Structure 1
Amino acid sequence: MRSRIYLDHNATAPLRPEARAAMVAAMDLVGNPSSVHAEGRAAKALVEKARDQIIEALGASQSDLVFTSGATEAAALALAGRRLHAAEVEHEAVLSWCDPTLPVDKDGQVTINESAASALQLANSETGVVQDLPSGLALSDITQAVGRLPYAHNWSGIGMAILSAHKFGGPKGIGALIVPRGHHVAARQTGGGQEMGRRAGTENLVAIAGMAAAAQAALRDLADGVWERVAHLRNILESTLEAEDPDTIFVGRRSRRLPNTSLILTPGWKGETQVMAMDLQGFAVSAGSACSSGKVRASRVLRAMGFDEGLSGCALRVSLGPDTTEEEVLRFADAFSAARRKQRSRAA
């Protein structure tokens, strides 16, 4: 029995063993991919093999794939010099480059009228709400969906897409931008001309190898029905908590959601207090997006969906993973319910 239970996979997923093995092997390659000697060619071959593996896993054979330091850099590379329409539910990495003009309904669904001038995430990191992506969309953030939802870029009708390896069991600090072949993006990092002239700097061989191995392993999990089992556990969690406290709100429940994500609103109980209480009980959960969890403020995503300031500050995100067990889910539900009863007695 694990002493601590990790239920924050939307913040970052544990490194997959396949990724670890690929990274260790890549550490033995001494060459620079830009060098023309045998050692350099071996390193270059690893980069290009990994690129092809990721493109295959994402069904993106009609596009280029540019390696970046993560989805945040990929968004900057895609959007610098442009100003697209987006909704307040987008991640800050995208929203900071966009005009938040698109409406969001109470179920987290976004309405788009001009696809070619808009950015829309495939799945929200806080609520897990999945969007129907319109054809012709300029850019999508597919970071949370990779390996958890079926996705084929060639069939999506999307222009560009961003992703980050550590969300699907790869290493931190590596991501990518999918770019249609022939599409121009202005390099923000210039110098050596790497990555088809779109992102200069010696390639991170070790992280790239880990990302490719993780992408392939994540695709196998999806094909094997792993996430269907996770969705079943998520439903057990929600029904158990609801039976204990009917006032509990599960955000986006009426929409299609990521199979692993439950955003729980518990009126009168601050999200950061919930996180600390669960941490002391041995559970790693989050009050929302990891990029803003250190900031004591109500969720921007929830406010956009129409929740008031007070209720938006009472959110707890539980995000399960492929290795999460039913026993762990029920242990969390018991601990959470006990902490809720204690909080209510103190507030009375």
Structure 2
Amino acid sequence: MGCVTPPAYLDHAATTPMSPAAVAAYTEQLAIAGNPSSLHTAGRAARRVVEEARESIAASLGARPSEVVLTAGGTEADNLAIKGLFWARRTGRPERTRVLVSAVEHHAVLDPAFWLAEHAGAEIVLLPVDATGRLDLDALAAELAAHAEETALVSVMWANNEIGTVQPVADVVRLAHAHGVPVHCDAVQAAGILPVDFGASGLDAMTVTAHKLGGPVGVGALVVGRTVDLVPVLHGGGQERGVRSGTVDAAGARAFAVALAGAVAARDAEAARLGALRDELVTGVLARVPGATLRGPAPDARTDDGGVARLPGNAHLTFDGCEGDSLLYLLDSVGVEASTGSACQAGVPQPSHVLLALGLTEHEARGALRFSFGATSTSADVARVLDVLPGVVERARAAGLASPARRSVPTGPTTVGGAA
């Protein structure tokens, strides 16, 4: 039999392979018994592993070890931040019902926020973004000026998971803290890829997860200031400062720490490498595929402080006259694994809320593909995409697309929910 060429895996934003060092640490620790809460020798050894991992994670993120609350991943950490901050801030201050989130947040932030609106009397304010996905700071400032006393928290992601836009976190913190409002940031896509420093950021809480940066699935952390009050979402043994009960995963914590330290050590060189691959892909696609449009910031765009305005490994494009799912399946059939970046509810494809927030129509948003690069990505992957994508787009267009739909984008803060 002939050699089979492995697929070009370009969905690292969804999950990326574990690094060899993290695999070694994980498998070694999995073979060692011991509950970190037990007082015997094995328990104390497991506790030492956890605390050393916590120290390493903190050092990699510019935090103190006591600020790292280990969780089962990013979704749990986001839920703890949104619900825990909301309930803590309303203690004795029932008027604090407003939860301010950007319109392009991950569903791990949006869904718990909307759950609070349905079950706990929250008012969700969706803050608008510009055409590149960057938060409208004037809208945030106006919202805080008008409703600071009624605001429980602000949550704005560090970098967008679909279109790669880097948000002005420092400005968000400055505006919110001027009114005494805490800020949470989902940094899942940024940690280990961009310079992420919790202490320097001034954030009150920050979400990270292991499997986006070379660690295992099922472990993450909420980095939260020592003076920040949180109401627990899980109740039980009182582990992790009493806000995250449950037996701590020593193997997961150790592998997370190893993966994060490795990612941070290689960050600048890897960012340059991935950015070059991303630029090669974008340039090639725009030259070879009519009707292709890059969404999000330009690859060479910079933030006000001189940093990159877009994640180096992110290329998000839309293709006129195509259905994203058709593109995805056709690419998969020829050995390219990517993502549409759109949500799917009850088996019915839905246009991405992120793209709608940029001002795209539902018709435009349906033809989306996200290519995301990581540690295993090479120029051969780019060549594969550029070789097969023109034909894939042509076939997808021939398959047809649903009728154009109306544009759906907020032009100012959108409020959902109300006091129960």
The TM-score bracket by the shorter chain reads: over 0.9
Matched, 1:35 2:17: no
- For the residue of structure 2 that corresponds to 1:234, the secondary structure is helix
Q: Which moved more, 1:245-254 or 1:29-38?
A: 245-254
Equivalent residue number for residue 367 of structure 2: 314
Equivalent residue number for residue 93 of structure 1: 108
Q: Which moved more, 1:180-189 or 1:37-46?
A: 180-189
Structural RMSD (CA): 2.0
Matched, 1:250 2:294: yes
Identity level (%) = 36
Q: Give yes or no for contact 1:122–1:145 (8 Å, CA) kept in 2.
A: yes
Equivalent residue number for residue 102 of structure 1: 127
Q: How does 1:199-210 map to 2 (within 5 A)?
A: 199-210=244-255
- Residues 284-333 of structure 1 deviation map (CA, whole Å, 9 limit, x = unaligned): 10010588796511111100110001011110010011221112111111
- For the residue of structure 2 that corresponds to 1:149, the secondary structure is coil
Equivalent residue number for residue 166 of structure 1: 211
Matching residue within 356, 359, 362 for 1:303:
356
Amino acid at match of 1:119: S
The TM-score normalised by the length of structure 1 is 0.94
Q: Give yes or no for contact 1:185–1:198 (8 Å, CA) kept in 2.
A: yes
- For the residue of structure 2 that corresponds to 1:167, the secondary structure is coil
Q: CA deviation at 1:124?
A: 0.5
Matching residue within 156, 162, 167 for 1:126:
162
Q: Give yes or no for contact 2:35–2:43 (8 Å, CA) kept in 1.
A: yes
Amino acid at match of 2:220: G
For 1:305 and 1:108, locate their aligned partners in 2 and report how far apart those are by CA, in whole Å: 6
Matching residue within 72, 79, 83 for 1:80:
83
Q: How does 1:283-298 map to 2 (within 5 A)?
A: 283-288=336-341, 295-298=348-351
Amino acid at match of 1:48: E
Matched, 1:231 2:231: no
Larger radius of gyration between Structure 1 and Structure 2: 2
Matched, 1:341 2:394: yes
Q: Give yes or no for contact 1:187–1:198 (8 Å, CA) kept in 2.
A: yes
Matching residue within 214, 233, 236 for 2:259:
214
Equivalent residue number for residue 25 of structure 1: 28
Number of residue equivalences: 346
Q: Unpaired segments of 5 or more residues in structure 2?
A: 87-97, 114-123, 302-308, 401-420
- Residues 155-179 of structure 1 deviation map (CA, whole Å, 9 limit, x = unaligned): 1111100111111111111111011
Q: Give yes or no for contact 1:62–1:180 (8 Å, CA) kept in 2.
A: no
Equivalent residue number for residue 378 of structure 2: 325
Q: CA deviation at 1:108?
A: 0.5
Q: Give yes or no for contact 2:101–2:126 (8 Å, CA) kept in 1.
A: yes
Q: Unpaired segments of 5 or more residues in structure 1?
A: none
- For the residue of structure 1 that corresponds to 2:127, the secondary structure is coil
The change in CA–CA distance for 1:277 and 1:226 in structure 2 (over 3 A counts) is: same
- For the residue of structure 2 that corresponds to 1:318, the secondary structure is strand
Amino acid at match of 1:89: V
Q: CA deviation at 1:187?
A: 1.3
- Residues 197-253 of structure 1 deviation map (CA, whole Å, 9 limit, x = unaligned): 111111112211111111111111204x11111101101101111111242110013
4+ residue runs of structure 1 moved beyond 6 angstroms? 290-294
For 1:304 and 1:90, locate their aligned partners in 2 and report how far apart those are by CA, in whole Å: 10
For 1:9 and 1:284, locate their aligned partners in 2 and report how far apart those are by CA, in whole Å: 10
Equivalent residue number for residue 326 of structure 2: 273
- For the residue of structure 2 that corresponds to 1:264, the secondary structure is strand
Matched, 1:51 2:54: yes
Q: Which moved more, 1:328-337 or 1:6-15?
A: 328-337
For 2:246 and 2:71, locate their aligned partners in 1 and report how far apart those are by CA, in whole Å: 10
Q: Give yes or no for contact 1:84–1:97 (8 Å, CA) kept in 2.
A: no
Q: Which moved more, 1:244-253 or 1:2-11?
A: 244-253
The change in CA–CA distance for 1:287 and 1:100 in structure 2 (over 3 A counts) is: farther
Q: Give yes or no for contact 1:286–1:293 (8 Å, CA) kept in 2.
A: no
Q: Which moved more, 1:20-29 or 1:40-49?
A: 20-29
Q: Which moved more, 1:24-33 or 1:275-284?
A: 24-33
Q: Give yes or no for contact 2:323–2:396 (8 Å, CA) kept in 1.
A: no
Q: Give yes or no for contact 2:55–2:65 (8 Å, CA) kept in 1.
A: no
The change in CA–CA distance for 1:19 and 1:152 in structure 2 (over 3 A counts) is: same
- For the residue of structure 1 that corresponds to 2:196, the secondary structure is coil
For 2:238 and 2:71, locate their aligned partners in 1 and report how far apart those are by CA, in whole Å: 14
Q: Give yes or no for contact 1:227–1:322 (8 Å, CA) kept in 2.
A: no
